[in-house]
Amino acid sequence: MAGYVNTIKDFKTKENPEFLAKVKELQPILHHKNLSPVNRIELKKTEDNSWLIHGRKGYMPEKKLVLQKDTPLCLEFPNHQVGYIRFFLDVVGSPLDAPVHLRIKLGEIVEELGEDTKDYHGWLSSSWLQEEYLHVDVVPGWVELPRRYAFRYLSLEILNQSLKYQIGITNITGKTVTSAEEEAVEELPADADPFIKEMDAAAVRTLRDCMQLVFEDGPKRDRRLWIGDLRLQALVNYYTFRNMELVKRCIYMFAGITGADGRVGACFYIEPKLQVDDTVLFDYSLFFISCLYDYYEVTKDKEFIAELWPTALRQIELSKERLGFGGILKDSGDWWCFLDWGDNLNKQAGAQGVFIYTVKQAIGLAKIVEDEKALEMLEELCRQLTSSALSRLWDGQQQVFVSGEMRQVSVVSQVWMLLAGILEDGAANKLIDRLLAGEIQLPLSTPYMYHYFVEALFQYGRREEAVKVMKEYWGGMLEKGADTFWELYNPADDDFSPYGSKVINSYCHAWSCTPSYFIRKYHLK
């Protein structure tokens, strides 16, 4: 956890004005729709301290509901949405002789309405929780909430008012926002398995709600562009909304402001101005190469690749500086590389796997831009990284990859080494068998890493098992009521959160939307 706040001191940046001009040119159009809640709901706390919907009654926007002090009015929208909220307040009885004091909560899951914010003790700021305290001085009148929210549920509660009047409410309305064009998404074949269809719909909705002025990681939290998330969102986008310009815009951002040494940052803000964050992660910088590689695969836009190639190559040069004894990446106890959430996860072997995987993609790009010198360097680097990984990180006796001084064995390390493609097919498939049998300790924590596991299964032709994992894992979220995919999901622990509380988790998270990529790319039915 402490590692997360480990930022670079006196972080200096470098700007490329041409790229930044392109970022402005490529600003997307936002689309809006108005929608109303569908139900009034009653919440109940269960014995195991979670919340569920106990009862539902239809909601009619024009019908005036009289709010009772200290009794929240809870509502449910048709599904997960991102946007703005407004409603009309009316006074019943005497004129408004004192302001109305309201508390409004918005939730992606019902827990966010049920739990009291005072009970939140996680280490990420509680300011992410979507709660407003509002004084309204003039009634009747419209009230517009001040922020953009990510919501499926809404609660409104009168905290105080005078004894003389009562407050009626009508026309609770959400105005949605996204840069995704829903009409662009092709329907799945009519004979597709209904469960696959449901999974695809939730994944597409997840991506839609994350597509704003950039590909946000989560519209509730962190509401910014992270490159690890971007890479996966872009893949799904190519098979769904096909908004190539938004991908380009985000790539130009990362190349437009880098660290002074040319390193691509881990995440990016667009307000109050374009700004790269001072967090740098080894794997995330390298995924700049993957973003370009995937973009080329789909568009064959050679010019764009040539323009961005120096930034891509720079990530390799900088990553080489981290190589230590025997051609293995130096390990450290800080948050130097992401890979997955998990306090005890050692990153060395996984990072080496990411390095080889992205060097191979860089070789592909060097060929496209015909950079002979770089190609030679990259091919040699690939040989070195591979042979050092096999000789120092592969434990022949245990038949697994080990990581760090304590020779930790984790699923993450195995998956990245499989993706790096350095084992012969026979050994790789044996390793996959063991992963599928659950024989390797330290399981994956996020849909993000599950994506890479499924990618590895497809890479080695294990299609049926890949579908099974998808149905069990993402399908597990659906069975628990999800209509967009969550940032974190541990089938064995409903309360899992690396942040200390599940209410701060994001329940519509970019890196979780990849079922649609697999479904559409591999024509899964």
Binding stretches for ligand RAM (CB under 6 A):
217, 222, 226, 228-229, 338, 487, 511
The rounded Cα 230 to chain-centroid distance in angstroms is 8
CB of 181 to ligand RAM, least distance (A): 24
- Shortest Å, Cβ 447 to ligand RAM: 10
Token pair for 490: 């541990």
Specify the residue, 277 or 301, whose C-beta has the smaller distance to ligand RAM.
Answer: 277
- State the minimum distance, in angstroms, from the CB of residue 390 to ligand RAM: 29
Q: How far is CA 258 from the centre of its chain?
A: 22
Q: Nearer Cβ to ligand RAM, position 409 or 482?
A: 482
Q: CA nearest 415: which of 388, 380, 442?
A: 442
Asked if 349 and 415 count as a contact pair (C-beta separation under 8 A), the reply is: no
Nearer to ligand RAM, 232 or 378 (CB): 232
Contact 137, 161 (CB under 8 A): no
Q: Which is nearer to ligand RAM, 168 or 228 (CB)?
A: 228
Nearer to ligand RAM, 252 or 507 (CB): 507
Q: Within 10 A of 293 (CB to CB), how many other CB atoms are there?
A: 21
Q: How far is CA 88 from CA 35, 66, 107, 128, 406, in A?
A: 15, 12, 21, 26, 62
As measured in angstroms, the least distance from the Cβ of 13 to ligand RAM is 20
Of residues 357 and 511, the one with the C-beta less far from ligand RAM: 511
* Nearer CB in complex with ligand RAM: 281/470: 281
CB of 128 to ligand RAM, least distance (A): 11
Q: What tokens does 173 get? A: 């309305």
Closer Cβ to ligand RAM, 215 or 309, answer by number: 215
Secondary structure (3-state) at 94: coil
Q: How far is the CB of 451 from ligand RAM (least distance, A)?
A: 12
CA–chain centroid gap for 497, Å, is 14
Smallest gap from residue 511 Cβ to ligand RAM (A): 6
Least distance (Å) between residue 448 CB and ligand RAM = 7
Which DSSP string do the residues of 417-475 spell out, in sequence order?
HHHHT-S-HHHHHHHHHHHHTT-SSS---SHHHHHHHHHHHHHTT-HHHHHHHHHHHHH
Pairing of strands 394-395, 267-269: unpaired
- 187 phi and psi angles, rounded to 5 deg: -70, 150
